[in-house]
Amino acid sequence: MITLANTLKATRDRIFGTLFKTNSQVDNSIINELEDRLLLADTGVKTTDLIIEALTAELKTQTDCTSPKEKLKKVLMPLFESIEGSSIISEGNDKPHLILVVGANGVGKTTTIGKLTKYFQSMQKSVVLAAGDTFRAAAFDQLKIWGERNKVKVISHGTGSDPGAVVYDAIESACTQNTDILIADTAGRLHNKKNLMEEIKKINKISNKFKDKISKETMLVLDASTGQNAITQAKEFNEAIGIDGIVLTKLDGTAKGGIVFSLVNELKIPIRFLGMGEQIDDLCPFNAIDFIEAVCM
């Protein structure tokens, strides 16, 4: 069974290595090495500086026997204060909830949609999928496979059709059928391709027309292995359409898990899920305490 601790082993090893193996005095050389290791784990310069400054202050002011790792946990938690208490579906919400899934090519959007479907079904929620990626001939086939695997309906107009029309019809269907969750796929697009970003803006505008009938979340899928490039993508997508939550995929195959600290510190956007493998159940709802414990264990 894949656990968060196992998934983050590569990141944990990169950040700590043989550092903090004992409770001995932490000197400047260890702090400097930790700084280098945080940067190598793609924590980013801005966030790394913040962590090192806070840890240095903590080590100076605390005279108890708390281990350096425990003190590091203490200074990491405030990074997540801006996303505390956020949740995908508000309590008491009885409207269909649209999750508009966006992201660049190759980040694992379709696989993430399949995993999200399984996750919501485990919560006894009804789910429908919308094949809003009408550009790739194989996109519907891939989504259809996930629909069949999870036994859910997939709404599609076929390759080359208007993706906005697909999402429009899917929302109307979800409202009529009282569906709990509607997950809409969109074509993979690079954050720096203006025409493709305009297309996602159009889809976003169409979904906003139903604001009285549905609740909505725009969820950005990012590939953890791309490191700081994920920050750039997130900023561009957030500026274009507004991002409500992030799914960070491929965390199991990278030592760049420090990107999580950078994302929450710089963007203040909640991380909803972590992708921890290829299987349908390998999607972990994000929890800041669990994440910090797994990195610092």
Say which CATH topology domain 97-249 has: Rossmann fold (3.40.50)
Q: Which residues pair with 247 in a beta bridge?
A: 221, 273
pLDDT of residue 19: 78
Segments making up each domain of the chain, as ranges: 97-249
Q: Which of 155, 108, 102, 156 is nearest to 127 (CA)?
A: 155
pLDDT of residue 193: 61
Chain segment 121-144, per-residue pLDDT in tens: 999 999 999 998 887 777 788 889
pLDDT of residue 71: 84
Q: Which of 95, 89, 180 is nearest to 129 (CA)?
A: 180
pLDDT of residue 290: 92
Residue 81 CA: distances (Å) to CA of 3, 154, 231, 234: 24, 37, 19, 19
pLDDT of residue 197: 74
Joined together, the tokens standing for residue 88 give 């995908």
pLDDT tens per residue across all 297 residues of the chain: 578 888 888 888 888 877 776 555 677 888 898 999 999 999 999 999 999 999 888 887 766 667 778 888 889 999 998 787 666 666 557 789 999 999 988 888 999 999 999 999 999 999 999 998 887 777 788 889 999 999 999 998 877 788 899 999 999 999 999 999 999 998 876 655 666 678 888 888 898 899 899 999 999 999 998 888 899 999 988 988 889 999 999 988 888 889 999 999 999 999 999 998 888 888 999 999 999 999 887
Tell me how far apart the alpha carbons of residues 109 and 168 are, in angstroms, rounded to a whole number. Answer: 20
pLDDT of residue 184: 95
pLDDT of residue 162: 87
pLDDT of residue 192: 56
DSSP states of 235-280 as a string?
A: HHHHHHH---EEEEE-GGG-S-TTHHHHHHHHH---EEEEE-SSST
Burial class (CB in 10 A: 0-12, 13-18, 19+), 7: buried
